[in-house]
Chains A and B, each alone.
Chain A
Amino acid sequence: GAGVSQSPSNKVTEKGKDVELRCDPISGHTALYWYRQSLGQGLEFLIYFQGNSAPDKSGLPSDRFSAERTGGSVSTLTIQRTQQEDSAVYLCASSFPSGGADTQYFGPGTRLTVL
């Protein structure tokens, strides 16, 4: 079956512009995660969705970052007024949590470059 897909694969934008990144999780997966991976750094948690609600938004770096999920499926991460430090690879993962087993399946990522 289809895995997690993300679009676009690459996005180049100018400082100050808004961007939207999309994640299509594996069908039936109720949990969805967004992470950020900056050059030379580890993965940084951004937000977790269970269904359409986000019980953990603790990793969003500022109020310029927001995310939503609709229909328990597609999720969009929006970054407003982008800054150069937002340049990174944004990764999405989905899972079907079941009694402590929460294997995450990752998409290929969106590489964001802010000029």
Chain B
Amino acid sequence: KQEVTQIPAALSVPEGENLVLNCSFTDSAIYNLQWFRQDPGKGLTSLLLIQSSQREQTSGRLNASLDKSSGRSTLYIAASQPGDSATYLCAVPSSGTYKYIFGTGTRLKVLA
């Protein structure tokens, strides 16, 4: 059974810091991993998708890496800004199904 854990649960940093969010999963038989952000009271916005054949993906100040063998992904945010404040969620498919399992998220607050 696929389980997804995100650490830390919450993080508060001053503006300008580089930071790393962690996601771990128990079943490495995944075909992709997705990172999302969720603003309060809103739906999710896709940030990055890493296919199983890839090691990392980059979009602007965001970089996500994937290590399937160790069951880990990291989301690196460079030069954080107050607008980055949100909850960040990772999700992986449960093996052999179309069901995506989400972590409980990291709530990020970037202080001006």
Residues of A within 8 A of B (CB): 4, 31, 33, 35, 41-43, 45, 48, 50, 55-56, 58-59, 91, 93, 99-109
Which of B15-23, B72-80, B94-102 forms part of the interface with chain A?
B94-102
Contacts of A93 in B (CB 8 A): 44
B34 touches which of A42, A59, A103, A108 (Cβ 8 Å): A103
CB of A56 within 8 A of CB of B99, answer yes
Instruction: Show 14 residue pairs from A and B whose CB-CB distance is below 8 angstroms, ordered by the A residue.
Output: A33-B100, A42-B104, A42-B105, A43-B89, A45-B101, A48-B98, A48-B99, A56-B97, A93-B44, A103-B34, A104-B34, A104-B46, A104-B100, A108-B42
Question: Do A100 and B32 have beta carbons less than 8 Å apart?
Answer: yes
Interface of B is mostly: strand
Known contacts: A100-B53, A101-B51, A103-B46. The answer to whether A55 contacts B98 by CB under 8 A is yes
Q: Is the CB of A45 within 8 A of B99?
A: yes
* Set of chain A residues within 8 Å of B44, measured between Cβ atoms: 43, 91, 93, 104, 106
A17 to B65, CA, bound (A): 46
Find out whether the CB atom of A109 lies under 8 angstroms from the CB atom of B43.
Answer: yes
Nearest-CB residue, chain B, relative to A33:
B100
Size class of the contact patch on chain B = 20 to 34
Q: In angstroms, how far is the closest chain A Cβ from the Cβ of B43?
A: 4
Besides the contacts A93-B44, A102-B31, A107-B43, what 7 more A-B pairs have beta carbons closer than 8 Å?
A43-B102, A99-B51, A100-B51, A106-B43, A106-B45, A109-B42, A109-B43
Given the known inter-chain contacts A43-B89, A103-B49, please indicate yes or no for A108 contacting B105, CB distance below 8 A: no
Question: Does B63 interact with chain A (Cβ within 8 Å)?
Answer: no
Contacting pair A102 B43 (CB below 8 A):
no
Question: What 0/1 pattern do residues 35 to 79 of B give for CB contact below 8 A with A?
Answer: 010000011111001011100000000000000000000000000
Q: How far is the CA of A105 from the CA of B34 in the complex (A)?
A: 11
Q: Whole-angstrom distance from the CB of B79 to the nearest CB of chain A?
A: 25
Contact yes or no, A100 B31, CB < 8 A? yes
Q: Which residues of B contact A42 (CB under 8 A)?
A: 89, 102-105
- Nearest B residue (CB) for A46: B99
